[in-house]
Amino acid sequence: MKAFTILAATVVLSSACTAGVASEDESAAHLSEAAWRACNSSSGILPTKASLAVAMARELGRWDALTDLVRIDNNGHNTVALSAAGLQRCAARGNACENTQAILALQDRAVTQVIDQNTFNPTTFREDLVASFARQRDRLQDLQNSPSQLPAPHELSHVGGPTDLGIGACGPHWVFAPTTPTGGVYPKPANLSNALYFFGEPSNPYLGFTMTGGNVAIDPIDGDNSTPVASTGSCATYELDRVYDPQNTLLGACCVTVAGVNGAMQPVPRARGYVGCKGGSVPTR
């Protein structure tokens, strides 16, 4: 019987939900395959957009897609990439936004050399991201009539997750503490949901935006923002047949695709750091 790996390092929320979140290695939680499959993924687009939101929160420290992302021409196709402002912010925070860039690279058609397009469609992902700029702009424009709901400038700090908050989510939650840009108390954390329209708010079930004390959390699938612990004793199946694994710890391992085909974990073209389960390939370990 194949194993479905959705193992996430877990944090423990305080009973009052205001004292912060414990470290990731304190415990572990399993989320069921049934829970993930119960959520509509729209050809893998919705969970991938939620994973992009997590990556940007961790690496850029904010949700400001209109500033940090840009539409570019890539061989005749509109594609979304980090903007100059986004790249500068990554550098200022001491990183190259590797996770963000790897997820954005999933727009490239070459990923279908490893991942079945029936599981994840990169063209649909690319087209949806391009259209999402208008969704975010329209939302912020609508809120000009309700300025008290506008998301104020903010900084996000990763304080917990991935963890199962036990609220019937599509995947493990990542928890972030918002502050003002100067480190002060953020006035209305709930307003940050209005910064997530680029990523599919309010109809993307994989965002699952929720408040936990003064913190905010979203719940993409496991594996796009960290490498889940592989199951033992059998070949694992990973959501959307892929794992963000920059250290290649799973490269060559046996796996079973979402469609039930035996294969091996191979590098995903263009998407640096990703390995995917390629059906029919032969494991090397």
- With a cut of 50, say whether residue 24 has pLDDT above it: no
If you write DSSP's letter for every residue of 86-121 in order, what string do you get?
HHHHHHHTTS--HHHHHHHGGGSGGGGGTS-TTT--
* 223 domain-assigned: no
* 2 domain-assigned: no
**233 pLDDT tier (thresholds 50, 70, 90):** low
The pLDDT tens digits of the residues spanning 145-159 come to 999 999 999 999 999
* 124 domain-assigned: yes
The pLDDT tens digits of the residues spanning 85-118 come to 999 999 999 999 999 999 999 999 999 999 999 9
Residue-range definition of the domain harbouring residue 91: 38-157+180-218
The larger pLDDT score, comparing residue 61 to residue 13, is at 61
Quote the DSSP letter at residue 13: B
Average pLDDT, the chain: 87
* 19 domain-assigned: no
Average pLDDT over residues 56-82: 95
Domain count, the chain: 1
* 33 domain-assigned: no
* 126 domain-assigned: yes
* 8 domain-assigned: no
Does the global pTM surpass 0.85?
A: yes
- Are 193 and 55 in contact by the 8 Å Cβ rule? The answer is no
Ordered strands of the 3-4 beta sheet: 3-4, 236-237, 254-256, 262-267, 274-279, 242-244
* 254 domain-assigned: no
> What φ, ψ does residue 200 adopt, rounded to 5°?
110, 0
